[in-house]
Amino acid sequence: MSELVIETSDLRKVYRSGLRRHAALDGLDLAVPAGGVHGFLGPNGSGKTTTLRLLLGLARPTSGQMRLFGTDVPAGLPDVLGRVGAVVEAPHFVPTLSGRKNLGLLARTVGAPRGAVEAALDQVGLERRDRTSYAAYSGGMRQRLAIASALLKDPDLLILDEPTNGLDPAGISSIRDLVRTLGDSGVTVLLSSHILAEVQQVCHSVSIVGRGRLLASGPVQDLLGDAVSRTRLVVADPRGAQHFLETAGHTVTRDGAALLVEGHGDPARLTRLLAERGLFVSELTEVRPTLESFFLGLTGRRDARPDQGAAS
Ligand SMILES: Nc1ncnc2c1ncn2[C@@H]1O[C@H](COP(=O)(O)OP(=O)(O)OP(=O)(O)O)[C@@H](O)[C@H]1O
């Protein structure tokens, strides 16, 4: 079994406002293996940021257990915090100073080794000699600098909370490449996000949460392997073909002029069945499940309730 970098067990966080109580985390069990990029996914308000804040000691859990590198936290945080870099809350940089000068100040505060500033700038692809002040940085450069600040300690675990929020497509793509490179370099990256296409491209494994509980977890390919795929058919008479296929026991929906047949349908069998009825298929494609369709199946149609039969 691979080493777990992050573990939570039955983690609860209840926020109180006046007489109202709200369980942001409702018994969350999380297991993040060492190495690569692990996606931490969930709809808005599902408890992702709360989890990260608890792990980093920025808030206290109501109950439950948490471990970082096998050490109980928050009690053991001083022993392991040196191995963790995080961008969970927007770091405060001095607007009039360059990225390098800002990192220099931070490096002294955290006691980073000599050369750490240059190494971090190189890692995130920011120019060592650039004198642009932080105030004039683009959103993408600010995010790179934030990640560089988390890399100063040369961490084994890097926690990033929605690192592409507010970036344009080019910025999103460059941060995605950076995250992938970091994951390949041996750092374990926990990437909280709800941009699922992005996550599918960079994450080796994911945990999906809804309403403060784990809905599904595992390598992306394993999760998608279990998800239902569909076959898209174009036929001359879609209404007749739909009726016929439904009578034969298939679940069929319309997609414009095409039909979507649920399940790993045998294409040869489908086309033969239809051809025998004079319903000739002019186009057939297998629609592969995406992380997005899997995620929506868990958090949308099932209303994000793990007790309604979602995988876990
Ligand atoms: N300090 C707080 N006081 C009261 N309620 C809070 C507090 N922080 C978070 N919450 C509530 O807890 C729930 C979980 O919030 P959290 O920010 O952890 O979700 P999230 O998954 O990170 O959402 P998003 O993707 O929108 O950032 C939400 O209902 C939120 O309103």
Q: Are residues 134 and 221 in the same domain?
A: yes
pLDDT band for 173, please (50, 70, 90 cuts): confident
Assigned domain for 196 exists: yes
pTM comes to 0.81
Counting ligand 1 atoms within 8 A of each CB, the residue from 44, 50, 193 with the most, and so the one to mutate, is 50
Counting ligand 1 atoms within 8 A of each CB, the residue from 16, 48, 51, 193 with the most, and so the one to mutate, is 48
Q: Report the separation in Å between the CA atom of 55 and the middle of ligand 1, taken as the mean of its atom positions.
A: 15
Q: Indicate which CATH number applies to the domain containing 80.
A: 3.40.50.300
Task: List the residue whose alpha carbon is closest to atom 10 of ligand 1.
Answer: 24
Q: Are residues 104 and 250 in the same domain?
A: no
Q: Are residues 65 and 89 in the same domain?
A: yes
| 185, 204, 225 - which closes a domain | 225
Q: Report the separation in Å between the CA atom of 186 and the middle of ligand 1, taken as the mean of its atom positions.
A: 31
Of 83-97, 149-163, 283-297, give the lowest mean pLDDT range. 283-297
CA pair distance 235, 237, nearest whole angstrom: 6
Q: Report the separation in Å between the CA atom of 24 and the middle of ligand 1, taken as the mean of its atom positions.
A: 6
CA pair distance 284, 270, nearest whole angstrom: 10
Q: Are residues 232 and 221 in the same domain?
A: no
Assigned domain for 301 exists: no
Assigned domain for 311 exists: no
Q: Are residues 220 and 233 in the same domain?
A: no
Q: Are residues 128 and 168 in the same domain?
A: yes
CA pair distance 262, 293, nearest whole angstrom: 13
Q: Indicate which CATH number applies to the domain containing 235.
A: 3.30.70.100
Q: Are residues 177 and 255 in the same domain?
A: no
Residue 42 and residue 209 in contact, taking contact as beta carbons nearer than 8 Å? yes
pLDDT at residue 308, as a whole number? 33
- Total structural domains in the chain? 2
The answer on pLDDT for 90 being more than 70 is yes
Assigned domain for 299 exists: no
Question: What is the overall mean pLDDT for the chain?
Answer: 88
pLDDT at residue 226, as a whole number? 64
pLDDT at residue 311, as a whole number? 36
Task: List the residue whose alpha carbon is closest to atom 16 of ligand 1.
Answer: 47
Residue 212 and residue 46 in contact, taking contact as beta carbons nearer than 8 Å? yes
Q: Are residues 114 and 187 in the same domain?
A: yes
Q: Are residues 130 and 269 in the same domain?
A: no
> Over the stretch 9-45, which tens digit does the pLDDT of each residue have?
999 999 998 889 999 999 999 999 999 999 999 988 8
Identity of the amino acid at 37: V
| Ligand 1: lining residues by beta carbon, under 6 Å | 15, 22, 24, 42, 44-50, 194
Q: Where are the beta strands (DSSP E) in 220-291?
A: 230-235, 252-255, 258-262, 281-287
Q: Are residues 63 and 149 in the same domain?
A: yes
For the packed helices 139-151 and 116-124, what is the interaxial angle rounded to 10 degrees? 140
Task: List the residue whose alpha carbon is closest to atom 17 of ligand 1.
Answer: 49
pLDDT at residue 137, as a whole number? 92
Assigned domain for 61 exists: yes
Task: List the residue whose alpha carbon is closest to atom 30 of ligand 1.
Answer: 45
Q: Are residues 208 and 232 in the same domain?
A: no
* Ligand 1 atom index nearest CA of 51: 18
- How far, CA to CA in Å, does 225 sit from each of 222, 266, 284? 5, 16, 21
CA pair distance 296, 227, nearest whole angstrom: 11
Assigned domain for 68 exists: yes
pLDDT band for 89, please (50, 70, 90 cuts): confident
pLDDT at residue 112, as a whole number? 87
Tell me whether 0.90 is exceeded by the ipTM: yes
pLDDT at residue 301, as a whole number? 47
> Over the stretch 72-81, which tens digit does the pLDDT of each residue have?
999 999 999 9
Of 115-119, 135-139, 164-168, 209-213, give the lowest mean pLDDT range. 164-168
pLDDT at residue 255, as a whole number? 86
Q: Report the separation in Å between the CA atom of 177 and the middle of ligand 1, taken as the mean of its atom positions.
A: 28
Assigned domain for 25 exists: yes
Q: Are residues 174 and 265 in the same domain?
A: no
- Which of 94-103, 163-172, 223-232 has the highest mean predicted lDDT (pLDDT)? 94-103
pLDDT at residue 289, as a whole number? 77
Assigned domain for 35 exists: yes
Q: What is the mean pLDDT of residues 269-279?
A: 90
Residue range(s) defining the domain that contains residue 233: 228-287
Task: List the residue whose alpha carbon is closest to atom 5 of ligand 1.
Answer: 15
Between residues 296 and 271, the one the model is more confident about: 271
Q: Report the separation in Å between the CA atom of 201 and the middle of ligand 1, taken as the mean of its atom positions.
A: 26
Task: List the residue whose alpha carbon is closest to atom 1 of ligand 1.
Answer: 15
pLDDT at residue 53, as a whole number? 96
> Over the stretch 222-241, which tens digit does the pLDDT of each residue have?
888 766 678 899 998 999 99
Q: Report the separation in Å between the CA atom of 102 and the middle of ligand 1, taken as the mean of its atom positions.
A: 30
Torsion of CA 285, 290, 293, 297, to 10 degrees: 120
Q: Report the separation in Å between the CA atom of 204 and the middle of ligand 1, taken as the mean of its atom positions.
A: 26
